[in-house]
Amino acid sequence: MQFVQFQDLGQMPYRSAWDYQTALHRGLVAHKLANRHLPAGQYPQQHHLLFVEHPPVYTLGKSGDEHNLLITEQELLEKGIEYYPINRGGDITFHGLGQIVGYPILDLEWFFCDVHRYVRNLEEVIIRTVAEYGLEAFRIKEFTGVWVNRQLPLTGVAKLCAIGVHLSRWVTLHGWALNVNTALEYFGYIVPCGIQEDGKSVTSLAQELGHEINLAEIKEKLKNHFAAVFECEIGQSPFLG
């Protein structure tokens, strides 16, 4: 069973968290290359799981369309929202306070070499977690992420969690963004994930349940389900900056 080092970064600007996870990712890749004469499992490798909340920021995936950002640079400044084109998959999404962003930095050669399975596993972690709050979440084949049916009088489906990843030498980067107590009005300034179909919107756990969720509580549930789905052990590590 693999050991995954856990760190809760608290509230951190996107750029700082991106630089930090990138440094960890490069460390795993460098260690892997230094031991390339050995098969996976025959040398120690350090995997990571980071949780973080970002101040308001939009990120655009490498395959995204910049026209899905619906406000100007000046409006971004006025509203205090940052914007970054980044190297994950997917289109544009929003990160903000009250949202739990999870960044697994795993060498998948120590787990399984299957990108599709990796993304499905991330979705499964979220589905199992929100089920503990009595909410039935599901996948939609054409759209990566986790969805729920809107409660009457609302209709259609809504995305609860966006997922976008990047892999280099089977080492993962980026991850998920679960809307827990997230301010949903920020999604009105973008075309979330580039999806413009009628009947598809964005929601949060608080919106669907009618009350705010204790973030410390749901973080523990996420960690437990991550450990179960990925069949790993998760250890606590304080973030030292």
DSSP 72-123: -HHHHHHHT-EEEE-SSSSSEEEE-TTEEEEEEE-BGGGT-S-HHHHHHHHH
Architecture of the 2-236 domain: 2-Layer Sandwich (3.30)
- Strand 99-105 with 171-179, pairing: antiparallel
Contacts of 116 (CB under 8 A, 6+ apart): none
| CA–CA gap between residue 34 and residue 38 (Å, rounded) | 9
Contacts of 27 (CB under 8 A, 6+ apart): 46
pLDDT tens by residue, 124-170 = 999 999 999 999 999 998 889 999 998 767 778 999 999 999 999 99
What's the number of CA atoms in the CB half-sphere (13 Å) around residue 35? 13
Residue 241 confidence (pLDDT): 41
- This prediction has a pTM of 0.93
Which tokens is 40 given? 């996976």
Residue 89 buriedness (CB in 10 A; 0-12 / 13-18 / 19+): middle
Catalytic residues: 193
Number of neighbouring beta carbons within 10 Å of residue 120? 15
Number of neighbouring beta carbons within 10 Å of residue 154? 12
Sites in the chain below the pLDDT cut of 50: 239-241
Let me know how many helices (H) and strands (E) the chain has, helices first.
5, 12
Q: What are phi and psi of 192, to 5 degrees?
A: -55, 125
Residue 237 confidence (pLDDT): 61
Which stretches does DSSP call E strand in the chain?
Answer: 2-11, 47-53, 57-60, 82-85, 92-95, 99-105, 137-140, 143-149, 157-168, 171-179, 200-202, 232-236
Which tokens is 222 given? 């996420």
